[in-house]
Amino acid sequence: MTIDLHMHSTASDGELAPAALMQFAAGLGVTTIALTDHDTAAGVAEARAAAQGLGMQFYSGIEVSCQWGKRCIHVVGLGIDEENAALAAAVEHFAQQRARRARDIADKLMALGCPDLCERAVEIAPNKAVISRNHFAQALIEAGVVKNQQEAFDRFLGDNAPAFVMAPWPELTAAVDLIRGAGGVAVLAHPGRYSFKKDWMLDALVEEFVKAGGRALEVVSGSQPAEFTPRCLDWARKYDLAVSVGSDFHSRKGIRPLPGQAGPMPEGMTPVTALLP
């Protein structure tokens, strides 16, 4: 059994359409899968039909952007009802914030000497409701400003880079509420990717997530080093949390592992799938 509960399609900033992504993952031997696009469940219905047709166990999902203090945190919601009304309203709100942020990012880039890339980034984005920094990275590459995605994030778009724009995402607790309200289980995405000046802040984040109603952690993720897993497992034991595994796959030429290749579900822990119907 190969499990992967975190990946992106063209419904957000991934390369493959939902059905093509399911096909690709099945070809790599993935048997249990979830689609978790940024701030939208628009790809879920297509992915579910494809995954079930391929004989995979499928879970609906979303990766909700939120903030905790000054940090942008990601909470994955698994098993959500993708037609939930509050979720749909939130998705609409995210779309507006992302469109507004796109203009602000483009302005910052222009102040740094880049051409106006707002229109092009929107054109590149397959789902106009999710204009992502990845689409700006592609526009920067296309315009010949940078050589690759890494350079785009290092020089311009990364969380500590000069064209970064903090969007008014919901608070961590509101993101967890949104997921739970839509019938889903809240999973803290890639805890090892958040950089805090003080290391104890990360422990505080996990504690707040649990207090807010979060029930699982990504203990194995394509977006965090493998060496981080033991610390995640310690938290899972301390707070009696379930555990999840995800590649965070975006594209075939990307920097992250392919679907199903982030690593196995650790033994002796409660897999998040045990909490899902």
Q: Which positions lie near ligand AMP, rule CB under 6 A?
A: 13, 38, 65, 132-134, 149, 153, 158, 250
**Residue (54 or 174) nearer to ligand AMP, CB:** 174
Minimum CB separation from ligand AMP for residue 13, in Å? 5
Q: Say how far apart CA 139 and CA 145 lie, in whole Å.
A: 9
Tell me which stretch binds Mn ion (CB under 5 A): 18-26, 158-166, 189-197, 254-262.
189-197
Read off the tokens for 124. Answer: 């590149």
**Residue (13 or 46) nearer to Mn ion, CB:** 13
Element (H, E) at 24: helix 18-27
Helices (H), 143-258: 149-152, 172-181, 200-212, 229-239
From the list ligand AMP, Mn ion, none, partner contacted by residue 65 (C-beta under 5 to 8 A by kind): ligand AMP
**Residue (120 or 133) nearer to ligand AMP, CB:** 133
CA angle 179, 37, 191 (to 5 degrees): 70
Element (H, E) at 157: none
Read off the tokens for 205. Answer: 């984040």
Minimum CB separation from Mn ion for residue 139, in Å? 15
From the list Mn ion, ligand AMP, none, partner contacted by residue 4 (C-beta under 5 to 8 A by kind): none
Task: Check: CB of residue 172 under 8 Å from CB of residue 75.
Answer: yes
Q: Is 48 in the site for Mn ion (CB under 5 A)?
A: no
**Binding residue for Mn ion (CB under 5 A) from 13, 39, 208, 218?**
13
